[in-house]
Amino acid sequence: MSTHDGKVAVVTGGASGIGQETVRQLRQAGWTVVVWDRSDAEGAVPVDIADYASVEAAAGQLDGIDLLVNAAGIAGDRQPSASKSPAEWDRVMAVNLNGSFYTMHALYPHLKARKGVVVNIASIAGMMMAKGRVHYAVSKAAVMTLTRSLANEWAADGIRVVAIAPGYVKTPMIQRSIEAGELDEATMAAAHAMNRLATTEEIAGAIIALAQPPFQFMTGAIVTIDGGYTLGK
Ligand SMILES: NC(=O)c1ccc[n+]([C@@H]2O[C@H](COP(=O)([O-])OP(=O)(O)OC[C@H]3O[C@@H](n4cnc5c(N)ncnc54)[C@H](O)[C@@H]3O)[C@@H](O)[C@H]2O)c1
């Protein structure tokens, strides 16, 4: 028996990258994990977090939950703002911002039932900027404000809401940008004081740690996990 038997988590974006590794580590620790992802990867409940009806239907299948990890997100295109299409702006906001709000909104009764924890995935892009990705940076800044706002509202219900702000993490999202010639791994690594990208294992481990009792007095915090990126060079 693990101490986490009986604990239930919902992980959005659990079919790839940070979400997938979070699912693996939670299951290894004995949690029951429900994966919500728009990809049809094995084991995922098909949910488009940008579509409230889809989120609401999936939430209706659940009872109390102890943890929501909002790991689904998209990087969007890399274009200067003046040539970025409004449709592309809307697409990134719909997933990264609306999706994070929709899942929290629909799962609120289930989180309240078990005094659960929400861990949102923001980004250092939301504290600084992301070249050619104004929509991404703004969506992540908004996720930080969403985190603080709902942490304040839901503290009375015993629900904690925190966010992490990672630097670059070696995931399929980043791999796609490298392959598209938008990002170069050595240049990305050099932007971090630690001169490397994070692994998904490191980020998932931090997400899970924040959901545990040692952090029970933490709410509304944005935890930077960036190998020293935001320290500057
Ligand atoms: N990789 C990085 O360097 C990095 C850095 C900071 C923050 N983040 C954030 O971490 C999160 C995870 O990123 P990743 O690198 O693991 O990406 P990833 O592309 O490997 O995985 C993202 C997952 O989200 C799912 N998803 C996308 N849109 C969805 C939707 N509308 N509904 C349901 N599922 C959807 C995808 O199918 C995929 O399984 C994202 O929010 C990303 O912005 C990533």
User: For the segment 6-45, what is each residue's pLDDT rounded down to a tens digit?
Assistant: 999 999 999 999 999 999 999 999 999 999 999 988 799 9
**Cβ neighbours for 202, distance < 8 A, ≥ 6 positions apart:** 225
Q: What is the pLDDT of residue 3?
A: 60
pLDDT tens for 65-85 read 999 999 999 999 999 999 999
Closest CA to 124 of 160, 173, 166: 166
Pocket lining: 227 vs ligand 1, CB cutoff 6 Å: no
- What element of type H or E holds 117? strand 117-121
Residue 130 neighbours by CB under 8 Å, 6+ apart: 123, 136, 137
All domains in the chain, ordered by first residue: 8-167+199-225 (3.40.50.720)
Tokens representing 152 are 């304040």
Question: How far apart, in whole angstroms, are the C-alpha atoms of residue 74 and residue 90?
Answer: 12
Positions in the chain whose pLDDT score sits under 50: 1
Task: Give CA–CA dist 138/127, Å, rounded.
Answer: 9
Active site residue 136: yes
* CA 45–ligand 1 middle distance (angstroms): 16
Distance 37 CA to ligand 1 centre (A): 10
* Atom 1 of ligand 1, nearest CA residue: 169
Predicted local distance difference test score (pLDDT) of residue 2: 56
CA 221/CA 228 separation, integer angstroms: 18
Is 166:124 a contact under the CB 8 Å cutoff? Answer: yes
Side-chain half-sphere exposure of 90, counting CA atoms within 13 A: 4
222 in helix, strand or coil?
A: strand
pLDDT of residue 58: 98
pLDDT of residue 1: 47
- Find the 35 Cα to ligand 1 centroid distance in Å: 13
pLDDT of residue 40: 82
pLDDT at 41: 85
What is the whole-number distance in angstroms between the Cα of residue 156 and the centre of ligand 1? 30
* Residue given tokens 């693990």 in the structure block: 2
Q: What is the DSSP string of 147-164?
A: HHHHHHHHGGGT-EEEEE
d(CA 133, CA 50): 19
Ligand 1 pocket test: pick from 169, 184, 200, 230 the residue with the most ligand atoms within 8 Å of its Cβ.
Answer: 169
Give residue 151's pLDDT: 99
How far is residue 136's CA from residue 74's CA, in Å, rounded to a whole number?
Answer: 8
Q: What pLDDT is attached to residue 112? A: 98
> Which residue among the candidates 52, 102, 108, 136 is catalytic per the annotation?
136
